[in-house]
Amino acid sequence: MINIHRLSFKWHTQQTIPTLTIPSLVIEPGEHVFLHGPSGCGKSTLLSLLAGINKPSSGSLCVLNTNLAHLSNRKRDAFRSDHIGYIFQNFNLLPYLSPLENVMLGCQFSKSRQQKALQQSSSLEQEAARLLSALGLTTEHHQQSVANLSIGQQQRVAAARAFIGSPELIIADEPTSALDANNRSAFIELLFAQANIAGSTLVFVSHDESLQTLFNRSISLMDITEQAV
């Protein structure tokens, strides 16, 4: 699913020392990976590279056997829309839309994800409702404004949006940081269930190392990066 080789990234070409350097990293299809490390170690930078938001300065970063370092900005955007679901730390929901409408946005820029969603349900709205219910948001909340939902409810909407259309890779960036321990564990179990149903690889990023026992693989970013001296 993910194959990184001699990757380095600089925010500016004038930098003498890269912001992030990873000699090697392989993540297999279907893995549930917990990626952790202290604040400032480069977790968000790595996620932006995996999602094709930013481009490596050197080296190769392959997702689904596609080297994102070789793609133009437009092609990386299209690749992300087709193959990657992203759960943002602050959720990035549109407050003037309902949960159903927010979830359907996950398919707006990808015909392939629309087609896969319609293989699961007879309409995008039905598939959005199915995912919201599966992730614990009751039907009475599906048509409300997301601005009126609790943090935990918004979290479920953000997860459903990432999963609609069964993208091969789900990236979750600190999505449980506002929840207590019991709710964190319960939400992660829901993520696992949906990832298994969709056949998606899950890369879950957090600084909270107490969560790593829930995952079948844990990676410390500090252990796989070359640290500047």
- For 68-114, the pLDDT digits (tens) are 999 999 999 999 999 999 999 889 999 999 999 999 999 999 999 99
* Bridge partners of residue 86, in order along the sequence: 171
Q: Is residue 116 part of a domain?
A: yes
Q: Is residue 22 part of a domain?
A: no
Q: One digit per residue, pLDDT tens: the chain, 229 residues?
A: 999 999 999 999 888 899 999 999 999 999 999 999 888 888 989 999 999 999 999 999 999 999 999 999 999 999 999 999 999 988 999 999 999 999 999 999 999 999 999 999 999 999 999 999 999 999 999 999 999 999 989 999 999 999 999 999 999 998 888 778 788 888 899 999 999 999 999 999 988 888 899 998 999 999 999 765 4
Q: How many domains does the chain have?
A: 1
Q: Is residue 7 part of a domain?
A: no
Write down the pLDDT at residue 227.
65
Q: Is residue 17 part of a domain?
A: no
Range of the domain at 91: 30-52+77-219
Write down the pLDDT at residue 229.
41
Q: Is residue 131 part of a domain?
A: yes
Q: Is residue 229 part of a domain?
A: no
Write down the pLDDT at residue 203.
97
CATH number at residue 123: 3.40.50.300
Q: Is residue 16 part of a domain?
A: no
**Model pTM?**
0.94
Q: Is residue 72 part of a domain?
A: no
Write down the pLDDT at residue 174.
87
